[in-house]
Each structure stands twice: as structure tokens, then as C-alpha cells.
Structure 1
Amino acid sequence: MHISVFCSAADLDDRYTAPAREFAELIGKGGHTLVWGGSESGLMKVMADGVQAHGGRLVGISVEFLAAKARKNADEMVITKDLAERKAQLLARADAIVIMVGGTGTLDEATEILELKKHGMHTKPVVLLNAAGFYDGLKQQFQRMDAEGFLPLPLADLVFFAEDGVGAMAYLEESAGIQ
């Protein structure tokens, strides 16, 4: 399975990196491919290092203005012209999407992925990995949107909130029919 992970390129506290390492190990040991932003820094590096160390493949999707920060030893590295093309490639090359902790860029990517799913532009499973309760506020907002009729499909059909990597992987494997 090709799993696109959207996450921060910032160096973060262990409460965020530990769940990332756990999830990366599950991706690698499961023989899956990480499709990610291609960066050799922050949480992106943590994910790539973990997947690679446990036997998984790496497909990076970087962007021209960040190409100098791209990982050199990925199995494949694509350099796009802009962020819009990057997001499109991250979605196109994925069987499933996992949104991990991040800043405005990650939030932008997450909302676009969910908006496209809402409109039927893809049916791929989407997980928000809620490490250390990072997305509690967003989850509450989505629940309100659902309760007040702002979503054309049930929230549970749009996104799954996982509290840890084990829960995220179990959901993805169940959604993909992997036993």
C-alpha cells in the first residue's frame, strides 16, 4: 500500500516524534511505501528514516523551491513546480492518506484532501493521527460541522481520527482489505 503522509518539516518534541517513529515502523515492517513531502528535516525525516530502517520504500514529492532539502537516498524523488502540483501528486500516488501534526501547510493539505473526498473526487481512506491530542480542537469542529449539517456525508465516512500509529494502520489495512 502507498501511504501518503502529510506532516511538518519542523523539529518537534518527543510527544510528536515518538508516534511518528511508531507509525513509520509499522509502514516499513508492513512492506508499505511512504509517499511524503521528501524533506530531510523535522518530522518528515523522522518518518522517512523509520520507514527505510524497517524495510519500506520511500517516494518523495518535493517542490522546486525546497529541492535542496530533498532526501538524497529515497527510492524515488519527484520535484514539482509548485505546492499545488505537489499536493496533487501526493494524492495521486496514494492508496491512503494520513495527516500527522503540522502547521499551516499541513492544515491546508488536510482540508484540500477532505474537500476533494467530500465532493467524490477520491474515495481513499483518510486518517488524522491525533498525536498528543494535537487535533482535538479540529475534531470538535468537524463534529460540529457534521451535527449542524455542513457535511454532505457523515464525518465517519470522511475521516478517521486515530490516537496512535497502531490505530491508524489497523484502520488503513481494514479499509484496504489487508489482513
Structure 2
Amino acid sequence: MRETTPTGVNICVFLSAADLDERYTRPARGFAELIGKGGHTLVWGGSDTGLMKVVADGVRKSGGRLAGVTVGFLRQWARDDADEMVVTGSLAERKASLLAAADAIVVMAGGLGTLDEVTEILELRKHGLHRKPVVLLNSAGFYDGLILQLRRMEADGFLPMPLSDLVFVANEEARAMAYLEDRVAER
């Protein structure tokens, strides 16, 4: 699943499959449009429900590609019109496949699965096991508590590197995309 468009970037988005209100769907649609109009590929959990559907619909509508990675027990909710869909045997395999297919990572509002994904991605980055840029899209202040905790970890010496080397926090979709495109171009 490493194929990209000639100028595009594979952007992995971790987010919820739950139906959420406009505080979260509006920025998701905005970021999806930036992915599609930029000629990029959405790499995501493959679901055709909730916020995952909002983003996939937006990417498709604005001309981007869809590369899904689902897991066998969630296959019934997978999107049928993805350009490609990989089915893994476990959630751990799914996370590894998503990371392998990505040039950059964005974390949007989500539940326990998203929290699991972001902490693993940051832990792998901390250990130098990937150098892909990671953005926390803090729509409606959703991640304020996590950001506070990460800053405390940094201040109290629990992080062996500056927090800014692990993750970039953006409150607006355009800022998140600009950061990703700049960092991918540098690599």
C-alpha cells in the first residue's frame, strides 16, 4: 500500500468511527478537502461510519484517493469504494499497516482506539522507530487535557526529547496541512 499519486502524500488520519456533532465534523470535512485538493491519499481505518465516513467522503469529493486498513471483525463497516482496502487479522496489525503506509499522521477527535493509536505512534517516534510528522488536530479543544498531560510529562522529565519533536499541535486544518507538507518535503 505504499503507492501515492505523483505529487501526493499518504496522510494517515486516526479518528473516531462514531457519529459526532458539528464541532468535530466541520474541521474533519475541512481537512478532508485539503487532502483531496492537494492530490494526497487518505490512509485511514477504512470505516464508512461516523467521523471516518465524513473524512473519506470529503477526500473522495475533492479528488483524493482512499486507502483503507480495516480489521477482520470490523470488515462489515468497511467502505466499499476505497481505491484499496487491506484487511488485517488484529488491531495491532492494523496499526502497523497504517503506519507503514503513511508519510505523515494526523490525529483527530476519537475514543479509546484513537487514544491507543496516538500513544503508540508517539512512543514509536520517541524511540526513533519512525520519523514521520505527527499532528494533533485539536478541534474544539478536544485534546486540551492530553496536551496538558504531555506538557507535564515533558516538564517533569518523562520525555527524553522536547514535546515539539514528537508532535505538532494545530487548532486549524490549514495549519495542520501546511506543517505536514513542509515536514514531508524536508525528508
**Identity of aligned pairs, percent?**
70
For 1:107, the aligned partner's letter is L
Match of 1:94 in 2: 102
Task: Give the secondary structure class of the aligned counterpart of 1:19.
Answer: helix
Match of 1:5 in 2: 13
Task: Give the secondary structure class of the aligned counterpart of 1:55.
Answer: coil
1:14-52 CA-partner distances (Å, limit 9, x unpaired): 000000000000000000000000000000000000000
1:75-103 CA-partner distances (Å, limit 9, x unpaired): 00000001000000000000000010000
Task: Show the 5 A alignment for 1:59-78.
Answer: 59-78=67-86
Match of 2:123 in 1: 115
Task: Show the 5 A alignment for 1:120-135.
Answer: 120-135=128-143
1:129-171 CA-partner distances (Å, limit 9, x unpaired): 0000000011011111111111011100000001011110011
**2: CA distance, partners of 1:85 / 1:176:** 24
Task: Show the 5 A alignment for 1:136-151.
Answer: 136-151=144-159
Where do 5+ consecutive residues of structure 2 fail to align? 1-8
**1: CA distance, partners of 2:94 / 2:48:** 16
Task: Give the secondary structure class of the aligned counterpart of 1:59.
Answer: strand
**What is the CA RMSD across the aligned residues, in angstroms?**
0.7
Match of 1:174 in 2: 182
**1: CA distance, partners of 2:184 / 2:127:** 21
Task: Give the secondary structure class of the aligned counterpart of 1:128.
Answer: strand
Task: Give the secondary structure class of the aligned counterpart of 1:79.
Answer: strand
- TM-score, normalized by length of structure 2? 0.94
Off by >3 Å, runs of 4+ in structure 1 = none
For 1:174, the aligned partner's letter is D
**1: CA distance, partners of 2:68 / 2:184:** 22
Task: Give the secondary structure class of the aligned counterpart of 1:120.
Answer: coil
- TM-score, normalized by length of structure 1? 0.98
Match of 1:80 in 2: 88
2:44 equivalent to 1:36: yes
